[in-house]
């Protein structure tokens, strides 16, 4: 991504799987939702991999080990090894190891993935604020109870350095949107005050961990969240593809501030296998496919016909150009209905 403010989605004449050497894939909301693979994900990723693209799975979910994630992906029909999985637990463990003595105790409030990552860095995870920890770290764990959150609060109140694997407020599950690690971090903040050092997306430690472990030369970040995946790509200076299979809605995409604007937009991971159509300026408006969009007063307007996603791309250009370096506040409901979004 260049340093200029993105005014429209990019075009790409080649399939994205050929234009980039490594796909840095978010998991929840992109490859799967809970225990189910998202439609078209397995087939699309298999074709991308068979065409020579390296697949790396980058998740803010610190609960599970890379081996457990790899086993799940392999079970979906995507042969994956633990080295292909990068977690926010690994990123935060490296961040902690750079600030505390080797072998230090760390109060770990999270799942197995966090404990394994800490031990990988030569740190000793403990469960109590009375174990004299050099740091306290929170990572997502769906079995977390009040007592473990209280231990984190006690340690933070005593001035122990506080870290968090990530601060995603929500996580998509089969039955809907559930509280994420960020919601649990807020519980500790309410009791103890202060703010943790955060390693996961969109923060730079996660991007650094990913590059170190994959060796990517021309990576493409693929995600469903503007405030983690896309912002993380922006912070890392790399291009991104937003897929509309997770939490981000078309209306939220149109309102995105510069740091949340992806290079490309697709319905799902099939977009990885296709060229991206160009969005062109047209006498105060923007065209993509058979659609033309413009900002008309306090609203966005669109005319034409064709693929709904092309209409959304044209509307992105109109909205982002009108907004400049802020969030677009133009009313977009009727325009989105017009393009079938």
DSSP string, 243-271: ETTSS--HHHHHT--GGG--SEEESSGGG
Confirm if 84 and 56 have CB atoms less than 8 A apart: yes
Name the residue among 26, 29, 25, 27 with its Cα closest to residue 177. Answer: 29
Q: Measured between alpha carbons, how far is 318 from 254 in angstroms, rounded to an integer? A: 9
Beta-carbon contacts of 260 under 8 Å, excluding residues fewer than 6 positions away, are 226, 227, 230, 231, 234
Which residue of the set 10, 21, 28, 310 is catalytic? 28
Query: Does residue 28 have an active-site annotation?
Result: yes
- How many CA atoms are closer than 13 Å to the CA of 219, on its beta-carbon side? 27
DSSP state of 38: P
Instruction: Residue 197: name the closest of 100, 123, 101, 58 by CA.
Output: 100
Catalytic residue among 10, 21, 26, 84: 26
Task: Identify the helix (H) or strand (E) that includes residue 152.
Answer: helix 146-157
* Residue found under tokens 């961040």: 95
Q: Which residues are catalytic?
A: 26, 28
């Amino acid at each position: 991504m260049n340093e200029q403010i993105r005014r429209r989605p990019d075009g790409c004449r080649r399939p994205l799987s050929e234009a980039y050497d490594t796909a840095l894939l978010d998991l929840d909301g992109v490859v799967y939702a809970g225990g189910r693979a998202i439609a078209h994900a397995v087939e699309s990723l298999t074709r991308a991999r068979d065409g020579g693209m390296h697949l790396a799975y980058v998740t803010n979910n610190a609960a599970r080990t890379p081996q457990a994630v790899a086993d799940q992906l392999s079970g979906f029909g995507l042969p994956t090894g633990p080295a292909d999985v990068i977690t926010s637990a690994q990123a935060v463990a490296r961040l902690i190891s750079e600030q505390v003595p080797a072998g230090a105790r760390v109060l770990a409030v999270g799942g197995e993935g966090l404990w394994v990552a800490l031990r990988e860095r030569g740190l000793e995870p403990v469960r109590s604020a009375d174990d004299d920890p050099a740091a306290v770290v929170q990572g997502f764990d769906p079995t977390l109870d009040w007592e473990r959150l209280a231990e984190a609060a006690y340690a933070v109140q005593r001035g122990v350095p506080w870290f968090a694997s990530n601060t995603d407020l929500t996580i998509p599950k089969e039955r809907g949107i559930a509280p994420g690690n960020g919601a649990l971090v807020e519980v500790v903040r309410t009791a103890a005050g202060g703010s943790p050092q955060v390693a996961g997306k969109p923060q730079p430690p996660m991007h650094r961990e990913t590059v170190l472990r994959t060796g990517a030369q021309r990576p493409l970040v693929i995600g469903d969240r503007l405030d983690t995946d896309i912002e993380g790509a922006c912070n890392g200076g790399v291009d991104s593809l937003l897929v509309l299979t997770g939490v981000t809605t078309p209306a939220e995409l149109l309102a995105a501030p510069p740091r949340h604007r992806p290079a490309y937009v697709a319905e799902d991971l099939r977009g990885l296998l296709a060229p991206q159509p160009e969005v062109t300026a047209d006498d105060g408006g923007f065209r993509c496919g058979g659609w033309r969009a413009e900002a008309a007063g306090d609203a966005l307007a669109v005319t034409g016909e064709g693929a709904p996603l092309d209409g959304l791309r044209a509307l992105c250009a109109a909205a982002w150009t009108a907004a400049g370096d802020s969030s677009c506040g133009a009313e977009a409901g009727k325009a989105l209905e017009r393009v079938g979004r």
